[in-house]
């Protein structure tokens, strides 16, 4: 995993690429630092590499320094991905996920999957969902999800509509009750007591 560290020395700012790695001998993590150059444009990731002067043993300069423009270095996106993949697989393979895939338009289905992932993984207030979405793999698994606070409110209102609920239960109840015997609570509807 790499990231850029900025150091300000005097009136100049310098950029270094920091790469973390595991030291097997000492059994702990270490960092390797690579000098990128003087920061010219922080947002665009443009640095000016300054080659160091070569000196002899007496400290006398052997050659003149040449200023060379380094290739622009863009920071890569860092996202949390482990739990996002798990929830995607759970939602996609579950009967409920398949029913919603039939009932909702594709864009709304992505929003539903993102919200389910958020609640399963994080469980915080819904107004924080957009911040979570921007830093999670769900942004790539379910692109185009509407995760703003207002969009979530509108989506939940639509999800609670009577027509959608009736359509959902018309499809869900035959699946949930297919393995149950008469007079028994269906296995997929049973409640869990703690």
Answer yes or no: is pLDDT of 53 > 80.
Answer: no
Distances (CA, A) of 137 to 15, 27, 76, 117: 27, 29, 14, 10
Please report whether residue 103 resides in a domain. yes
61 and 102 within one domain: no
> What is the average pLDDT across 147-170?
92
Instruction: Give the sign of the dihedral formed by CA 66, CA 2, CA 115, CA 113.
Output: positive
> HSE (CB half, 13 Å, CA atoms) of 85?
4
65 and 98 within one domain: no
- Given a contact cutoff of 8 angstroms between Cβ atoms, the answer to whether 104 and 168 are in contact is no
Per residue in 179-189, pLDDT tens? 666 656 655 55
- Given a contact cutoff of 8 angstroms between Cβ atoms, the answer to whether 32 and 43 are in contact is no
35 and 103 within one domain: no
Q: Which domain range does residue 153 map to?
A: 82-177
For the beta carbon of residue 109, count every other beta carbon within 10 angstroms.
18
Element housing 140 (H / E): helix 138-141
Please report whether residue 193 resides in a domain. no
Q: What is the CA radius of gyration of the chain?
A: 27
pLDDT for position 134: 87
124 and 50 within one domain: no
Per residue in 110-119, pLDDT tens? 999 889 888 8
pLDDT for position 93: 86
89 and 173 within one domain: yes
Q: Give the confidence band of 120 by pLDDT, cuts at 50, 70, 90.
A: confident
Please report whether residue 74 resides in a domain. no
> What is the average pLDDT across 70-81?
70
Please report whether residue 184 resides in a domain. no
pLDDT for position 80: 78
169 and 114 within one domain: yes
Distances (CA, A) of 149 to 108, 136, 154: 15, 17, 9
Picking from 155, 150, 117, the residue whose alpha carbon sits closest to that of residue 133 is 117
Distances (CA, A) of 40 to 45, 152, 162: 8, 40, 58
> What is the average pLDDT across 52-71?
58
90 and 58 within one domain: no
Average pLDDT of every residue of the chain: 80
Please report whether residue 156 resides in a domain. yes
Q: Give the confidence band of 157 by pLDDT, cuts at 50, 70, 90.
A: very high
107 and 48 within one domain: no
Number of domains in the chain: 2
pLDDT for position 194: 45
- Given a contact cutoff of 8 angstroms between Cβ atoms, the answer to whether 37 and 15 are in contact is yes
Answer yes or no: is pLDDT of 161 > 60.
Answer: yes
Please report whether residue 27 resides in a domain. yes
Residues ≥6 apart with Cβ < 8 Å to 70: 36, 37, 47, 48, 49
Whole-prediction pTM: 0.54
Q: Give the confidence band of 55 by pLDDT, cuts at 50, 70, 90.
A: low
């Amino acid at each position: 995993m790499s990231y850029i560290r900025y150091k300000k020395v005097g009136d100049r700012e310098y950029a270094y690429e920091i790469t973390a790695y595991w030291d097997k001998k000492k059994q702990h993590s270490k960092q390797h630092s690579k000098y990128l150059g003087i920061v010219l444009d922080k947002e665009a990731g443009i640095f000016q590499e300054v080659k160091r002067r070569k000196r002899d043993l007496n400290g006398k300069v052997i050659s003149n320094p040449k200023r060379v423009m380094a290739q622009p270095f863009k920071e890569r996106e860092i996202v949390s991905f482990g739990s996002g993949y798990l929830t995607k697989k759970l939602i996609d393979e579950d009967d409920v996920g398949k029913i919603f895939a039939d009932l909702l338009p594709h864009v709304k289905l992505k929003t539903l999957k993102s919200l389910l992932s958020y609640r399963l993984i994080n469980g915080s207030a819904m107004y924080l969902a957009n911040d979570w979405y921007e830093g999670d793999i769900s942004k790539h698994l379910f692109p185009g999800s509407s995760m703003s606070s207002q969009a979530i409110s509108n989506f939940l209102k639509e999800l609670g509509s009577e027509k959608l609920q009736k359509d959902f239960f018309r499809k869900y109840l035959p699946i949930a009750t297919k393995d149950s015997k008469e007079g028994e609570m269906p296995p997929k509807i049973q409640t869990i007591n703690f």
